[in-house]
C-alpha cells in the first residue's frame, strides 16, 4: 500500500498549493482536506515541500531499522552521495563512525553503486543499444513513464538504480546483511518495496537527523578520506553525464531536471523530436541535492552543488565488472485508471462553475489546475469540487451580498477609515435624495451626512445601535446603527427610515395637546359656572373641583 506520504488532517487549510505544484495532479480534495491519490502519485515530494502548513509527512521507518539492529542482524548503510550537502563538513568516515554508534555494522557510499550504473550506461552508448537512452536512476521519473508515458518505456534504460546496485553488491559480499539506504528521496522507499530482496529499508536524511538528535549524538571530525570517486557527482544536475566517459561523439548528452521539464522532454522523445541521445533525467530541480527529504535548512542549491562537486574526484571507485544480466531491471507499464468525461459532461460542470462561455474561463489556476476545463475534469473524477473555484465563489458571494444589500429596505452606507463612501445601496440613496450611487462613491461622507457619529465609532472603536437621528437636510427621521470593523477597516451605517412613524407620532402628540387645551378651557369655564351657582346656592364646590381635576389629569396622561 502506498502510504509513503501521509496527511496531517488538522493542518490542511484549503489553500490548494499542493495541487498547483503537483505535476501529475494526483491529489484529491474532499471534505476540506487534500488527499494523495495513491495509484496516480509519482512520489516526487513537491506537495511535501510546498505545503505552507506542514500538513504532509513522510512515513517514518526508523523503528524498522532499530528492530533489525536489536535482532542481531548486521545492518549496512548505503549513504547517498548528497550527504555532503546535507551534513556540513561530514565525510564518509565520520558518517560511518556515527552510524556505528547507532548500531550499524558499516556504512558505504551509494556512489559505489553509481559507478557500477554509469559504467553500464557507458556500455549501452558504446554498443549503440538504443537510439535514445533515458537514465533510470530516479524512481519518480521511472514511475512517471510507467504510469503516464508508456510509449517511451523502450527508451528507459533497464538498469538498476545506484541504490539497488550498491545494496546488491553489499548482499553479495555479506549474504546475511540487512541493507538500509539513506538519502534525500521519498520515492526510494517505494522502490525498495517494489523490488524486495535488494534494499531492506530506505530512510531519508530527515529521519536520520531526527534519530541522531534523539540519541544526543553528533558527528566527529575525522581526517578526509583519500579515495575520491567520480560518481559522487550523481546527485547534481548533469552529474551522471559528468561522471561518464562520453567517448561516442555520435550521441548527444542532455541533462534535464524538474518533473515539468522531464514531461516536456518525454513528449519530445515520444514524437520523435530527439534522436541518438543520452538523456539524464531527475524529478527534482537541481537533482538529488534538491530532494524533498533533505533537511529543510539545507535547501541551498548553489552551496549544495559546490559541496558535492568538491567532494568528488576524477577517478572511478575500484569495482568488479558486471554483466548486463547482473544489472538488468524490469520496468514495466503500470498505468493509471482515470475515467474521462465527454464534452457535454465538461460543459455541464463548467456551467455549474459559472462559466457558460469560453470568455468566462479565466484559467487563473487558483484552484490548483491550469485550466477551467482541467478543473471540470477533476470534478467529474471526484478529485475536486465546485467550491475550489475562487473567482466563482467570489462572484457568487458578491452577487449574494449585492442582492441582500440592494433589496433590504434599510439604507446601507459603507465608508473607509478616511470616511470616504465605498458602497451605498438604493435604499440609502432614496433616504438622502441621491439620484445615482456613482455620484457619491469615493467622496467624503460629509457631502451627504453629518459625520459626527461615524467619527465617534471610528475613534472609540465602539458601535452605535438604534440611535434615532433627524436629518434636517432631507427632512427625514432615521434609526441609525453604525458598526466599525477593525479587521477590514470599514465603517458601516445602517439607516431605518422612521419618518412616517415619527410623523404619525407627532400628529398624535399634536392632537393630544389640542385635546388637553380644549379640556382645560372647558374645565375652567365649568369651574366658573359651578362657583357662581355654588355662591348662589351657598354650597361647597370642593367635591366638584376634585372630580374635574382628576378628569384633567387623565386627559394629560393620555
Helices assigned H by DSSP within 461-497: none
Q: What is the pLDDT of residue 298?
A: 66
For the chain, count helices (H), then strands (E): 21, 16
Q: What is the pLDDT of residue 202?
A: 98
DSSP-derived 3-state class of residue 469: strand
Query: Do 147 and 117 fall within a single domain?
Result: yes
Distance between CA atoms of residues 322 and 302, nearest Å: 35
Query: Which H/E stretch holds residue 109?
Result: strand 106-109
In a domain, 399, yes or no: no
Distance between CA atoms of residues 439 and 355, nearest Å: 32
Q: What is the pLDDT of residue 1?
A: 44
In a domain, 359, yes or no: no
Q: What are phi and psi of 29, to 5 degrees?
A: -110, 115
Distance between CA atoms of residues 358 and 376, nearest Å: 13
β-strand partners of 213: none
Measured N-to-C along each axis, helices 499-537 and 542-557 cross at an angle, to the nearest 10 degrees, of 180
Distance between CA atoms of residues 379 and 205, nearest Å: 37
In a domain, 39, yes or no: no
Q: What is the pLDDT of residue 367?
A: 86
In angstroms and rounded to an integer, the radius of gyration of the C-alpha atoms of the chain is 41
Q: What is the pLDDT of residue 534?
A: 63
Last residue within a domain, chosen from 301, 327, 353: 327
DSSP 59: P
Q: How far is CA 290 from the centre of its chain?
A: 20
How many angstroms separate the first and last alpha carbons of the chain? 85
Query: Do 177 and 91 fall within a single domain?
Result: yes
Task: Find out whether 251 and 276 touch, Cβ atoms under 8 Å.
Answer: yes
Last residue within a domain, chosen from 497, 522, 545: 497
Distance between CA atoms of residues 208 and 188, nearest Å: 15
338 HSE (CA, 13 A, CB side): 25
In a domain, 88, yes or no: yes
DSSP-derived 3-state class of residue 494: strand
Task: Write the DSSP string, 215-266.
Answer: TT--PPP-PPPS--BGGGGTTSTTHHHHHS----TTSEEEEEESHHHHHHHH
Query: Do 292 and 432 fall within a single domain?
Result: no
Model confidence, pTM = 0.75
β-strand partners of 107: 77
Query: Do 263 and 141 fall within a single domain?
Result: yes
The neighbour count for residue 243, using CB atoms within 10 Å, is 25
DSSP-derived 3-state class of residue 496: strand
Distance between CA atoms of residues 389 and 369, nearest Å: 10
Query: Which grid coordinates belong to 391?
Result: 473567482
Task: Find out whether 300 and 220 touch, Cβ atoms under 8 Å.
Answer: no
**Cα separations (Å) of 344 from 350, 375, 543?**
10, 15, 96
Q: Give per-residue burial for 466-496: e unless 16+ CB within 10 Å, then b.
A: eeebebeebebbbbbbbebeeeeeebbbbbb
Distance between CA atoms of residues 165 and 321, nearest Å: 12
Query: Do 220 and 237 fall within a single domain?
Result: yes
Q: What is the pLDDT of residue 64?
A: 97
Query: Do 550 and 415 fall within a single domain?
Result: no
In a domain, 348, yes or no: no
The neighbour count for residue 449, using CB atoms within 10 Å, is 26
Task: Find out whether 124 and 130 touch, Cβ atoms under 8 Å.
Answer: yes
DSSP-derived 3-state class of residue 274: coil
Query: Do 484 and 509 fall within a single domain?
Result: no
At 440, which CATH number? 3.30.450.20
Q: What is the pLDDT of residue 152?
A: 97
Query: Do 181 and 70 fall within a single domain?
Result: yes
Task: Find out whether 159 and 136 touch, Cβ atoms under 8 Å.
Answer: yes
In a domain, 383, yes or no: no
Last residue within a domain, chosen from 267, 295, 327: 327
In a domain, 400, yes or no: no
Sheet holding 421-424, edge to edge: 421-424, 411-416, 490-497, 476-485, 464-471
Distance between CA atoms of residues 296 and 483, nearest Å: 45
Query: Do 237 and 161 fall within a single domain?
Result: yes
How many independent structural domains does the chain possess?
A: 3
Residue ranges making up the domain that contains 540: 501-557
CB contact set of 307 (below 8 Å; sequence gap of 6+): 84, 85, 88
CB contact set of 12 (below 8 Å; sequence gap of 6+): 32, 33, 34, 53, 55
Query: Do 291 and 430 fall within a single domain?
Result: no
Q: What is the pLDDT of residue 238?
A: 97
Query: Do 431 and 543 fall within a single domain?
Result: no
Query: Do 257 and 116 fall within a single domain?
Result: yes
Task: Write the DSSP string, 296-351.
Answer: GGG--HHHHHHHHHHH--SB--------HHHHB----------PPPPHHHHHHHHH
Distance between CA atoms of residues 270 and 152, nearest Å: 6
In a domain, 237, yes or no: yes
Residue among 273, 272, 271, 278 nearest 256 (CA):
278
Query: Which grid coordinates belong to 222?
Result: 575525522
Each residue's pLDDT expressed in tens, for the chain with a length of 558 residues: 458 988 777 678 778 899 999 999 999 987 778 889 999 999 999 999 998 888 888 999 999 999 999 999 999 999 999 999 999 999 999 999 999 999 999 999 999 999 999 999 999 999 988 999 999 999 999 999 999 999 999 999 999 999 999 999 999 999 999 999 999 999 999 999 999 999 999 999 999 999 999 999 999 988 766 678 899 999 999 999 999 998 767 899 999 999 999 999 999 999 999 999 999 999 999 999 999 999 877 678 899 999 999 999 889 999 999 999 999 999 999 988 778 899 899 999 998 888 888 888 888 888 889 899 999 999 999 888 887 877 776 677 666 677 777 788 899 999 999 999 999 999 999 999 999 988 999 999 999 999 999 999 999 999 999 999 999 999 999 999 999 999 889 999 999 999 988 888 878 878 878 877 777 787 777 777 767 776 666 555 556 566 666 666 665 665
Measured N-to-C along each axis, helices 162-173 and 111-126 cross at an angle, to the nearest 10 degrees, of 110
Amino acid at each position: 500500500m502506498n502510504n509513503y506520504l501521509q496527511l496531517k488532517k488538522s493542518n490542511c487549510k484549503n489553500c490548494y498549493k499542493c495541487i498547483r505544484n503537483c505535476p501529475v495532479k494526483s491529489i484529491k480534495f474532499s471534505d476540506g482536506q487534500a488527499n494523495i491519490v495513491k495509484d496516480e502519485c509519482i512520489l516526487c515530494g513537491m506537495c511535501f515541500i510546498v505545503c505552507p502548513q506542514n500538513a504532509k509527512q513522510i512515513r517514518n521507518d526508523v523503528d524498522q531499522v532499530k528492530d533489525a539492529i536489536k535482532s542481531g542482524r548486521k545492518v549496512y548503510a548505503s549513504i547517498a552521495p548528497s550527504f555532503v550537502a546535507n551534513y556540513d563538513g561530514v565525510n564518509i568516515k565520520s558518517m560511518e563512525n556515527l552510524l556505528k554508534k547507532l548500531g550499524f555494522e558499516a556504512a558505504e557510499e551509494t556512489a559505489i553503486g553509481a559507478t557500477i550504473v554509469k559504467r553500464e550506461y557507458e556500455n549501452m552508448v558504446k554498443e549503440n543499444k538504443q537510439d535514445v537512452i533515458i537514465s533510470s536512476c530516479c524512481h519518480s521519473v521511472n514511475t512517471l513513464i510507467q504510469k503516464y508515458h508508456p510509449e517511451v518505456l523502450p527508451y528507459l534504460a533497464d538498469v538498476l538504480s545506484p541504490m539497488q546496485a550498491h545494496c546488491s553488491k553489499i548482499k553479495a559480499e555479506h549474504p546475511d546483511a540487512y541493507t538500509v539506504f539513506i538519502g534525500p528521496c521519498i520515492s526510494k522507499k517505494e522502490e525498495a518495496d517494489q523490488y524486495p530482496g535488494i534494499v531492506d529499508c530506505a530512510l531519508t536524511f530527515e529521519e536520520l537527523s531526527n534519530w541522531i538528535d534523539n540519541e544526543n549524538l553528533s558527528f566527529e571530525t575525522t581526517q578526509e578520506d583519500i579515495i575520491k570517486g567520480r560518481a559522487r557527482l550523481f546527485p547534481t544536475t548533469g552529474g551522471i553525464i559528468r561522471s561518464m566517459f562520453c567517448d561516442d561523439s555520435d550521441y548527444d548528452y542532455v541533462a534535464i531536471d524538474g518533473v515539468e521539464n522531464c514531461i516536456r522532454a518525454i513528449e519530445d522523445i515520444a514524437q520523435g523530436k530527439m534522436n541518438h541521445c543520452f538523456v539524464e533525467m531527475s524529478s527534482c530541480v537541481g537533482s538529488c541535492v534538491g530532494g524533498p527529504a533533505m533537511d529543510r535548512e539545507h535547501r541551498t542549491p548553489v552551496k549544495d552543488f559546490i559541496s558535492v562537486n568538491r567532494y568528488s574526484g576524477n577517478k572511478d571507485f575500484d569495482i568488479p565488472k558486471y554483466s548486463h544480466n547482473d544489472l538488468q531491471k524490469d520496468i514495466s507499464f503500470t498505468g493509471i485508471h482515470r475515467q474521462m468525461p465527454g464534452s457535454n459532461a465538461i460543459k455541464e460542470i463548467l456551467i455549474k462553475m459559472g462559466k457558460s462561455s469560453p470568455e468566462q474561463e479565466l484559467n487563473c489556476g487558483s484552484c490548483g489546475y491550469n485550466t477551467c476545463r482541467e478543473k471540470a475534469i477533476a470534478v467529474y473524477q471526484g478529485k475536486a469540487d465546485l467550491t475550489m473555484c475562487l473567482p466563482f465563489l467570489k462572484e457568487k458571494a458578491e452577487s449574494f451580498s449585492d442582492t441582500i444589500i440592494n433589496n433590504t429596505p434599510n439604507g446601507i452606507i459603507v465608508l473607509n477609515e478616511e470616511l470616504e463612501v465605498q458602497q451605498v445601496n438604493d435604499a440609502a440613496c432614496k433616504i438622502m435624495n441621491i439620484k445615482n450611487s456613482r455620484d457619491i462613491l469615493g467622496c467624503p461622507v460629509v457631502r451627504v451626512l453629518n459625520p459626527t457619529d461615524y467619527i465617534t465609532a471610528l475613534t472609540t472603536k465602539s458601535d452605535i445601535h438604534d440611535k434615532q437621528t433627524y436629518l434636517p437636510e432631507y427632512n427625514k427621521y432615521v434609526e441609525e446603527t453604525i458598526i466599525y470593523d477593525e479587521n477590514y477597516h470599514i465603517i458601516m451605517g445602517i439607516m431605518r427610515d422612521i419618518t412616517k412613524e415619527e410623523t404619525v407620532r407627532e400628529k398624535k402628540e399634536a392632537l393630544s395637546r389640542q385635546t388637553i387645551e380644549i379640556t382645560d378651557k372647558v374645565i375652567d369655564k365649568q369651574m366658573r359656572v359651578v362657583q357662581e351657582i355654588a355662591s348662589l346656592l351657598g354650597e361647597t364646590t370642593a367635591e366638584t373641583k376634585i372630580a374635574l381635576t382628576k378628569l384633567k389629569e387623565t386627559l394629560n396622561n393620555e
